Structure 1
């Protein structure tokens, strides 16, 4: 059988077009390598080629076996966790809207919040399904175009929204910079110290955009996420640099940057005056007593100490804590239903975060690893910061928590991140390093004689 005929027959057995192209090219390379070896043993080129093809085995059996390997996969366990938390989130929204800790909202306002969140959740699941189907490798093929294009979009949004809206909305938009940043890191992989420096500078673009539109700690969360992703890429050896020295230098750089912002932020035109005052308050001598969210921290800290294992333990709330469904869902569960219920909820969230990282870190493809890790980092940071703020931890404020808190844009953005994680898993046996870049594939083929 001729090589082209053999490859056509094998390819016909593989349903996924993307995998079909990848497997065909690798089989052709494998046959050529084997043919060269036979020629070195004294065969003529035509004899060597025919023998190499014969050694590949029956094309239908080979194609069928490769089709079982190289096909899309759905991570059912992760999807089930997502659906469970989506249902839990709607249940909590219903309870915070209609019952709350002391009666909930008025009828019309409760209906407004509840019905809108139902719509947002259904829309979010639809967005998740769409992102799951879409090829995430576009992030690796056009990383700089997507990065700067999205930056322009965010710049326009930042200058058309009023500041009071920007506190939450712009933060949710900015979190999508992290999977885009994964594409940037992938673009500069296998390069040296200059590439690491460029990637470090890229990480500050969403940070400084955030400083102009959202509160300081929200920008620090974004910077921390990008910085962590860069450290992981260096630690995994994606750059041709000395790991220990580079990581040490990267850790020192943001410390110096924060000190400059602390002392010269307004002089450099980077920070607004109110942001500078807040930054100085956070990192000043009274940092443990810092309280910027309406005097709620003392109430939260006192309430935490009185939580019951089961049942309600809530004391009258301050007026600043009115919107439970947005900012204090975790506190609501602990105060209304007890430590056992609240701990169970946090355990499910933690299991989801761990599963997201597990999916990402098992990827052999570096783009899939980076994109999945970026999305996992965003979701985990949101969970940790929100829960910490709900327990009265100083220096942090509740922004949004995946699945549980109210918000249209936050819900849709978080489902985009979840869809990307599922897309990474879906393509784990389909996407190779060659997608979006020049490289080689490796498929191990073994034939056993019966």
Structure 2
């Protein structure tokens, strides 16, 4: 017990030590967009309809619902509110803009009842799971089954009887109680006759495909160039629900049955899972409260945070380290960086106007220009976009000190030395130029 107690005491410090690397990835208000760019994650929305006659989901003529959803989601992430309660250090760390946005690139519609259905109630068809009947007693209106199952929830509502002479069919349970090593089920309907030891009971169970990847496999062929959002449904009588188990897909079901802004909050929460965040009832980072009460309750200063990753009615805050963790992942893991719009070919420019040291991984955009007489030092990784280029003006210098410049798409246009307005040359093609490329400590430029 003492050993466990020591671990608990050391846990906040351990988390802090594990999170130190995130500090440089946090986009504080004072951080420039060149070194802390907006992370733009490409989204492909898939709308699953139950059938052509009864879609039970939005249709092509109501796609504005999706636009509205992502406008709200992006506003939540860009206009975060201060935390509703102190963290474990009695502080309230706050960054207003996470610099994370979700860009809807494509919307597809699919008619598929299996893909639409994320949660349904079905009868158990596996005979190995059926429950053996020991006795049917018409006088007490009970069925005795083998084994202790009085707390087995599926039989406490309704059940289906097979293999008897006179009592087959769907029956409903009043209650069940343990009797020795067996269970006696009291039935709401009147049993016809008493019977001996014959027959079986099946029951109805909930099949939850909320977190399954089947739609991602079937409708997106496991595509990893986007984060695929599937708007689905459910025949089960449940409120809107979702699951974000992967950086490449998530499901949100029955969003038409929920408040539209509440669904945007739900989707923002599931997107948070996709991009690397866990629930806040157990802190993932040292700048979060040690505990967070879950339940659809209002936020307060005592035990309920307003964190997007909590279960609360606010969902409008992320801690700086939560934000930094996301930026770190997407600038470090190539598979994730390829889902961003940052690495797509574009006309954006980053201009280095003073001597600069980038000591964190950077997702560059478009053209990177190092102005005359200035130096850019790369100490980590600089990820170049597709067809991106680095331009060195007169007397400028790029130093790769233990870092690496490369493109995850393996398709960028390299470094160009600019002599004048009309003459650009690839750096490896020209010997006598006055701009410099310096590689130190195994620094590397890869094509």
Does the pair score TM above 0.5?
Answer: no
Structure 1 or 2, whichever has the larger Rg, is 2
TM-score normalized with structure 2 length = 0.20
TM-score normalized with structure 1 length = 0.20
Higher relative contact order (CA 8 A, sep 6+): 1
